[in-house]
Structure 1
Amino acid sequence: MEKIGIYGGSFNPVHIGHVEIMKYVLKEMKLDRLIVIPVGFPSHKDSLLLTGEKRIELLEAACKDIEKVTISDIEVQNKGVSYTYDTLLNLKKKYKDAIFYEIIGEDSADYLQEWKDYEKMVEECKFVVLKRNGYAYRAEHNNIIVLESPLYRYSSTEVRERLKKGLDISDMVPKKVHEIIIKEKLYR
């Protein structure tokens, strides 16, 4: 049975922390595949997102050399709000004999019970919770796995703020992502 991780987020933009998380969960959870899914229209916050297509381009540049990572446009193609449970059901149709692992941070885990169809979701897949600075999440269900993961110090918000101020971000994002952001003057 294939073990598939689902890693969703705005990835606005993808940064080195995201890439480190991908590599970490692939290894730690012994996943056969990690599907990275940028949101189309986030249900939980307003945000000035780059287009889904541009974020996919940046993700593909960042993940080009990471085995077992697939970038999916499943939520970007959806013209309405995408909910994680609906995305999971769509993936379950495509990968019928798979065990799914939803990768989230402790910040998201803190309001997990508020997610649409949380009760159904926690029965349909396992949640893998990664450490976030300032949080101490305690699992409340057998299908929730809290990993003693390293703390990843970068955030997309910080990358965007530095770009607005004209500061260097070359140590915060993968090299190919940096090249695209600078060439196309993104986030300015």
Structure 2
Amino acid sequence: MKIGIYGGSFNPIHNGHIYMAKFIIDYLKLDKLLVIPVGTPSHRKNILADANMRLKMCEIAFKDQEKIEVSDIEVKSKEVSFTYDTLLKIIEKYPNNEYYEIIGEDSGAYFHKWKNYREILKLAKVVVLQREGYTTLLKDSNLLQVKNPFLNCSSTRVREAVLREESIENMVPKEIAKFIKVNKLYKK
């Protein structure tokens, strides 16, 4: 089985994330895509919305997607989230498969600084999605660079629009916009 692993802060999940999840399933012909919101991030100060809220938004966004499973593997962990550790847990849960670690080129630009990045490349193919303004420096036979469409959407733009009390319905699904409003997320 071909299993994709799509981790991120998803703070909040937006139409670009959703499009890319569907795109990568088709592009790689994946049997399953695990969407994994980060619990406690390793690479930045934790200023994210509550992990359970981000998890719930991912569940809402992908509720009707047969090949997508939203995983709480990092959210329920009390440890700082490192891709290598999460990958080992996934391999233990789903042994003897092909694994594809999906990252954006913003992460690909510094992938060589990740914890145990060489081991990650031995255990999985690392699939780098293009992002405007970034370049992946590392070259490896298990690192695949994908020519995907550039999407003009980001979690930062969604959060900024919420702060300015502007509509976000062109950036996130309606159910996510409603969830953000009802739960008063991304307000100061």
Aligned residue in 1 for 2:72: 73
Maintained 8 Å contact 2:112/2:138: no
Letter in 2 for 1:177: I
Match of 1:49 in 2: 48
Identical pairs, percent: 47
The structural deviation recorded for 1:176 is: 1.0
Unmatched runs of 5 consecutive residues or more in structure 2: none
Task: Answer yes or no: is the 8 Å Cα contact 2:111–2:117 preserved in 1.
Answer: yes
Q: State the shift of 1:51 in Å.
A: 1.4
Residues 148-188 of structure 1, C-alpha deviations (whole Å, 9 max, x = no match): 00112111111101101111101000111111112222111
Q: Which residue of 1 aligns with 2:118?
A: 119
Are 1:84 and 2:83 an aligned pair?
Answer: yes
Q: Which amino acid aligns with 2:76?
A: Q
Contact 2:110 2:136 in 1 (8 A): no
> What's 1:16 paired with?
15
Q: 2 CA distance for matches of 1:138 and 1:82?
A: 23
Aligned twin of 1:149: 148
TM-score w.r.t. length of structure 1: 0.96
- 1:163 alignment counterpart: 162
Give the CA deviation at 1:139: 5.4
User: Counterpart of 2:103?
Assistant: 104
Aligned counterpart, 2:172 = 173
TM-score by length of 2: 0.96
Contact 1:139 1:146 in 2 (8 A): no
Alpha-carbon separation, structure 1, partners of 2:182 and 2:112: 42
Considering only aligned residues, what root-mean-square deviation do their CA atoms show, in Å? Answer: 1.1
CA-to-aligned-CA distance 1:65-87 (integer Å, 9 cap, x gap): 22210011111111120110010
Mark the runs of 5 or more structure 1 residues left unpaired by the alignment: none
1:138 Cα deviation (Å)?
5.4
Q: 2: distance between equivalents of 1:129 and 1:152?
A: 15
Q: Secondary structure at the match of 1:77?
A: coil
For this pair of structures, how many residues does the alignment match? 187
C-alpha distance in 2, partners of 1:164/1:61? 22
Amino acid aligned to 1:84: T
How far does the alpha carbon of each residue in 1:11-37 deviate from its partner, in whole angstroms, 9 at most, with x for none? 010000000010000000000000000
